[in-house]
Amino acid sequence: MLVRCARWVARTLRGELQGIVLDPARQLLLRGLPALTLAFVASFGVVFFHGIAQHRTGVVVVRLLGGVTADLPLWLALLRTPVSLYVPALDLPVWAGITQLFLAFALAELALGRGRTLAVSYATTLAGTLTVRVMIAAGPGWLGFGLPPETGQVLDTGPSAAVVGLFTYLSVIRRAPVVFTLTGGSMIVESIVEPNLAGREHLIAVGAAIVLGLLHGRSTAVRRWIALLLPWPRPRRAAGRRAVRTVPVSVPVPRAHGGQPLSRPGAAASTGEEMSTPR
């Protein structure tokens, strides 16, 4: 049993090393540093907003551009959410966060591409932001799901939800249970040790990334499910255009009095010529 467990761990680690590290490294060698454009932009954005937030006026500017709270109007929160990905939490060390941010965006950009990386990071962040509104609307109680109304004034910014979502998404589509355990397990421990708004949003980001990862490569099935859930009316045919069906028509064969079918004139002539031709 111990030998089997050791072999399984070795195969799992080898597979994760291949899918999470070696394949992106190979893409980096083929495509060069331009393949990490999104990672560099995200890291530079965090450093930029962190530098601005060191001044009084800069704090106000950063809050107006990327500060998201649950008591904001929904349209304004959606407008600020893309910028909030690059606004670091002021009570956390920024350089540790930048390292995780660069690593997550770099691996995702090399493995998934820029478009899917942006889509997953934004979707997981937005899932946490919108679910917090549902929790506040539910109110305290609900088996620990609801939140008090004063939680709506807590500043909800930072790329941590996007980082957690990208790592979880990569671990699901590359079937990396060790990375998944380190990512999701650390979020569960964080939410238990220090229950706060960020811990809940991280768990929501993990759940959203799991759903997106399970739907990866199943676009046909997703479209089919959407068609079943939202049956759109089929377009009617035009009144002047009707389908014409072709019906096979059997032509009767003329027969003689004896019941034998009559042969064609050309066939009869050819037969007569063959009979009259001397051998």
- For 228-248, write each residue's pLDDT tens digit: 555 555 455 444 455 455 555
Candidates 218, 220, 37, 42; CA nearest to 113 is 37
**Binning pLDDT at 50, 70 and 90, where does residue 220 land?**
low
pLDDT at residue number 83? 87
- The answer for residues whose C-beta is within 8 angstroms of residue 205's C-beta and 6 or more apart is 124, 125, 127, 128, 161, 162, 164, 165, 168, 187
**Binning pLDDT at 50, 70 and 90, where does residue 117 land?**
very high
Task: Kindly report the average pLDDT of the chain as a whole number.
Answer: 77
pLDDT at residue number 105? 92
Residue 153: pLDDT above 70?
yes
- The answer for residues whose C-beta is within 8 angstroms of residue 78's C-beta and 6 or more apart is 126
Structurally, what CATH architecture does the domain formed by 2-218 represent? Up-down Bundle (1.20)
| pTM, to two decimals | 0.74
Residue 169: pLDDT above 90?
yes
pLDDT at residue number 190? 78
Number of H helices, E strands in the chain: 12, 0
pLDDT at residue number 229? 56
Question: At residue 191, what is the residue type?
Answer: S
Q: Taken in order 200, 205, 169, 31, is the CA torsion positive or negative? A: negative
Residue 268: pLDDT above 50?
no
- The answer for residues whose C-beta is within 8 angstroms of residue 209's C-beta and 6 or more apart is 120, 124, 164, 165, 166, 168, 169, 172
pLDDT at residue number 166? 92
